Structure 1
């Protein structure tokens, strides 16, 4: 099956939905959550076809950087749409949908070294919990950015614009910590399954991911403890959230980028 037409359609739908949601946040167009969801669903379906074709049906796992990024962005978009029916997270589509479109472009145009590796059920549990955790934290990162912008506007007594579109500040903060709690549970499961099922989590090709993932876990654990015990919120919660997400981003894609893009160009 040719994936290119589906890839182009996914990009168009992602950009359409993300642009409308972005203009909504800027108060340039009225809120149309049904429109954003409809375009988002069409994008996710087309993107899913692209990911399925890329991974193939050979029983092996393609771990190239561009395919990994596209797979994770597809899962992020899917989770965002699913949560949007019960949680006010659709505003994050303004940032995450264009990012998903970008990963599709990278998968089409970026030369990459594809690593085919068989995966036992235990390894699959580790991989699945890892990408689910990263996906939730990616949504949390955008949620944190929106919270920071909302908090800044309220401090300056700006009650128009984005403040009129987003849910109340308390709701935004509660949603942020719900995402972090869910991400922490999955990140914990990922680390535990890695210890159990991987031969050596500190092998040369895994040590950076292991160290950075544990460091991110510590940051999120401290954030949750600080929030529960000391009442951390607002700008402090945003900084800790973004710091932990940055470490996870480096853990998941740092070495892949260095090996497949930087060193390959030398």
Structure 2
């Protein structure tokens, strides 16, 4: 998300989106399916409006919290599409809570202003990175649903996922594969065109190290699945480890700079 912290319109839209997300999250058991679906749709549209409005702000900003906010929106977008294919999918209240938390966090920590002299290709590079975050976040959500469904099946209970277990597994690894492709493209762009994008050549800082470690982890996961048939809990653990490393790469490093050290550079 690119957000103008001083804009009253951005604050009003963000507050409205957070409240709209909070409705299905807090009242999931009391809302009917149609009402909950409509409330989540309104929240998703308001969240989208916050993102779009921020693109035309006078002082666009970016940081760890806006990155998480856009990632949450992308995950909800994936959920909205999958709901059309699997109407019984049951994760609405969790994703609504995630959306509300991400919106509030971005309101509190809007990030640093983007330099007016930044390369015109920088937004594309940031978009690649955020899309990569969104795909791996969707993979993590599906892996969690897969683990939960498997546990319910082992206990002879209704899995409550709305999606067959094997379909969840296939979707999980499709998201991992797509995310890996975008991660590779993002890293190559940063390595080859770092000076054009950021005014400096590639360097091995914390972000680069964690990004490469996550790339190696996901590469190992995909290779292990293709060559050795990795699946189930072990594969999910590797996915979680790679996603955690990727989260530390940008979000973690920016969190330390912006919140712990109080710096915006």
- Place the TM-score, normalised by the shorter chain, in its bin: 0.7 to 0.9
Are positions 1:188 and 2:184 aligned together? yes
User: Could you state the TM-score of these two structures normalised by the residue count of structure 1?
Assistant: 0.81
Counterpart of 1:241 in structure 2 is: 239
Change in 2 beyond 3 A, CA 1:238/1:187 = same
Are positions 1:142 and 2:149 aligned together? no
What is the distance in 2 between the residues matched to 1:46 and 1:29? Answer: 20
Unaligned runs of 5+ in 2: 1-7
What is the distance in 1 between the residues matched to 2:67 and 2:132? Answer: 14
Q: Secondary structure at the residue paired with 2:215? A: helix
User: Could you state the TM-score of these two structures normalised by the residue count of structure 2?
Assistant: 0.81
Using the TM superposition, name which of 99-108 and 70-79 deviates more.
70-79
8 Å CA contact 2:61–2:111 kept in 1: the answer is no
Give the deviation of 1:91 after TM superposition.
3.8
Using the TM superposition, name which of 99-108 and 171-180 deviates more.
99-108
What is the distance in 2 between the residues matched to 1:144 and 1:217? Answer: 18
Counterpart of 2:45 in structure 1 is: 45
Q: Secondary structure at the residue paired with 1:232? A: coil
What is the distance in 1 between the residues matched to 2:85 and 2:225? Answer: 24
Give the deviation of 1:180 after TM superposition.
0.7
Tell me the matched-pair count. 251
What is the distance in 1 between the residues matched to 2:82 and 2:110? Answer: 32
Counterpart of 2:166 in structure 1 is: 170
Using the TM superposition, name which of 194-203 and 213-222 deviates more.
194-203
Unaligned runs of 5+ in 1: none
Give the deviation of 1:181 after TM superposition.
1.1
What is the distance in 2 between the residues matched to 1:237 and 1:105? Answer: 33
Counterpart of 1:14 in structure 2 is: 21
CA RMSD of aligned residues (A): 2.8
Change in 2 beyond 3 A, CA 1:3/1:90 = farther
8 Å CA contact 1:123–1:194 kept in 2: the answer is no
What is the distance in 1 between the residues matched to 2:55 and 2:77? Answer: 18
Counterpart of 1:218 in structure 2 is: 216
Matches within 5 A, 1:55-94: 55-58=55-58, 61-86=60-85, 90-94=89-93
